[in-house]
Each structure stands twice: as C-alpha cells, then as structure tokens.
Amino acid sequence: MFRGSKKEAPRNELFDIDYEHGTITRKSDGIRVLALGSVGWATLEKELTSTFVSGAAVILQRMGYSYGRYLGKVARAQMKGRQDALQALQMFAKESGWGELALSGGDLGSGQARLVLRNCVFCLHIKEASEPVCYVVAGLIGGVADEVIQATHRVLEERCVAKGDAYCEIVVERLG
Ligand SMILES: [Zn+2]
C-alpha cells in the first residue's frame, strides 16, 4: 500500500522500501539493509548470554568490531584522507539507529576519548544488569576507530543504561 510514487509518500529519505520484493535499499549507495527490531535484538542478546555466559560478550563485541571495521573502510573511502573517526561514528550512529553519539571528553585523534551514547538501541530492553552490556557498541566504536585512524584501540563501556545509568559511556584509548 506504500507503493505509490515518491511524491505521494516521502516517508523516508534514506531508504527505499520495496514491499513487493521484500527489500530495503539505502538510496545513497544502493546497499541492501536488514532491519532488526529492538525487542528481538534484546531477545537474541539474552539467549546468547544464557547459552554462552561470558562468551556472549566476546561474540557480541566481535560482531560489532567486524562490522565496525567494514564501516571504517567505507568512511575512509568517503573522507579521502581526512581522518575524522568521530564524525564517521556519529554519522553511522545516526543513520543506523544506534542512538545519539557525542564526544564528552578528550579527542579520538589524540588517542584518548570519552563518548556518550544516548538512546542506545542495544540495551533498550535490558534491565538491572550488573555490568555494562553494550559489547556491540564497544566493538563498533573500536572497529571504526581502528580502521579510520589505522591504529589499535582499547574500548571499554563504563556506563550503561542497562545498569541504571542515564546513558551509555564508552572510553576509547589508543594502544602503542
Ligand atoms: Zn549500554
């Protein structure tokens, strides 16, 4: 029912949703997009954790990191020499629905930074955690930072909405 002309239904500027063929495509580069709901994501995380216990953190971090490395390559191609990892991360967070990412201290370029993620989608439905749970976010940030800056970073989530903090906060430190 949304198959009308773009003039009639300008409900989305970033993506083309083709109900007939079951595809969502990003307009800027024609790449297919997979949409996951936040409740389903939370279920996936909970089940991974109950199956693999602390191994789930490694799996989720690694998923984020691999995808972050890919995004970092995309950003490097787009930025052509300008190495602005923060700008890249903020753009990906915005258009991928991770949440609202901001620098709260330091500077990624100098190797020490503190990032705040408000409205984080990854821990939206996880309550009363005793530890931060946004391993995917830490992985994504590490992957993008490593690839854009071409150095290795240690990334730790220090605050997390899932354990009652007002926002998720991630500390990034360049190694070596
Ligand atoms: Zn979190």
Q: 3 C-alpha vs ligand 1 centroid, how far in Å? A: 37
**Average pLDDT rounded to a whole number, residues 36-52:** 94
On the question of pLDDT at 99 being above 80, the answer is yes
Structure tokens at 137: 């976010």
Give the dihedral sign, CA 35/166/94/148.
Answer: negative
Q: Using DSSP, state whether 141 is helix, strand or coil.
A: helix
CB 89 within 8 A of CB 68: no
Per-residue model confidence as pLDDT tens digits over 67-98:
999 999 999 998 887 779 999 999 999 999 99
Query: Looking at the predicted structure, is the pLDDT value of residue 132 above 80?
Result: yes
> Ligand 1 mean position to 56 CA, how many Å?
15
Per the structure block, which two tokens stand in for 170? 């991630």
Degrees (nearest 5) of the Cα angle 50, 56, 57? 130
140 CA to middle of ligand 1, Å? Answer: 13
- Over residues 41-45, the mean pLDDT reads 94
pLDDT at 2: 46
Taking each helix axis from N to C end, the angle separating 135-149 and 55-79, rounded to the nearest 10 degrees, works out to: 30
List, as ranges, residues with CB under 5 A of the ion ligand 1.
120, 123, 134, 160, 168
Cα(12) to ligand 1 centroid in Å equals 27
Q: What is the pLDDT of residue 16?
A: 93
Q: Is the pLDDT of residue 7 over 60?
A: no
Q: How far apart are CA 101 and CA 149, in angstroms?
A: 18
Q: What distance in angstroms lies between residue 11's CA and the mean position of ligand 1's atoms?
A: 29
pLDDT-based confidence at 9, cuts 50/70/90? very low
Which neighbouring-strand residues pair with 15?
26
Altogether, the residues listed in the chain come to a count of 176
Dist. CA 82 → ligand 1 center (Å): 29
Q: Ligand 1 center to residue 169 CA distance, Å?
A: 7
Across 158-165, average pLDDT: 97
Residue 29 C-alpha to ligand 1 middle, in angstroms? 30
